[in-house]
Amino acid sequence: MQSNPLRTWLATALTLVALAGCSSTGQTAATPPAPLPSGTVREGLVSETARVKALDQKTRMVTLEGADGSLVKFRAGDEVRNLAQVKVGDEVTAMFYESVAFQVKKPGDASMGTTVAQEMARAKPGEQPGMATARVTTLTTKITGIDKQAGTVTLLDPEGGSVTVKARNPANLERVAVGDLVEITLTEAVGVSVQPRAK
């Protein structure tokens, strides 16, 4: 796996450590501690629709025309089932979903490392072409430094280095400690469907 996306998630998560909840300052001995910071940093759904402008079943080359008139040409791979069902004029809709979430955990409640879970569903033979894929990547890293005066947190980089980011809400730095773990979850999903042209 390339390190650039992981570095981006780390930088995002570090900024997040101070996003959720309120400060623990002013608590008395009888007041339970505030929960550890967690939340969703970014979440978005994008949908694009285009019409099949040209299609060569033999070479599997497809040309799509967007709503703005722009053209996209590509070869439909062998994983695309039922291409024979697609006709010029059919409508292709693609949906893209992405979210980045984080949760701070105490040592022992999680293990450092990266896990990837992926699933894919395709249309059955004879159905209109369509597919959906989802991938969830979870990266767990460790807080190695907190500078409350500067309002920054330092996390262990997946490659053994470190990344330091300024917190958005420095008050939340009171709720974390060096050695705490930060679990960053990136969820990505793509769905593609084809609808026959209206008669």
pLDDT in tens, 173-185: 888 899 999 898 9
| Distance, CA of 72 to CA of 192 (rounded, Å) | 15
Residue-level pLDDT at 20: 39
- The single residue listed with the structure tokens 């291409």 is 83
Query: Residues near 89 by Cβ (< 8 Å), separated by ≥ 6?
Result: 51, 52, 197
Residue-level pLDDT at 129: 79
**Residue-range domain boundaries for the chain:** 3-45+94-191
Residue-level pLDDT at 19: 37
Q: Is the model's pLDDT at 31 over the cut of 80?
A: no
Q: Is the model's pLDDT at 34 over the cut of 50?
A: yes
From 188, 9, 6, 8, select the one nearest 103 (Cα to Cα): 9
Per-residue pLDDT reduced to its tens digit, 48-103: 899 999 999 999 999 999 989 999 898 888 778 888 889 999 999 989 899 988 89
Residue-level pLDDT at 39: 77
Mean pLDDT of the chain: 80
Q: Is the model's pLDDT at 117 over the cut of 90?
A: yes
Provide, rounded to the nearest whole percent, the portion of the chain with pLDDT above 90.
30
Residue type, 48: E
Geometric angle at alpha carbon 177, from 171 and 181, rounded to 5°: 110
Provide, rounded to the nearest whole percent, the portion of the chain with pLDDT above 70.
82
| Mean pLDDT calculated for residue range 94-115 | 89
Whether the pTM exceeds 0.85: the reply is no
Q: Is the model's pLDDT at 33 over the cut of 90?
A: no
Q: Residue 135 — very low, low, confident or very high, per pLDDT cuts 50/70/90? A: very high
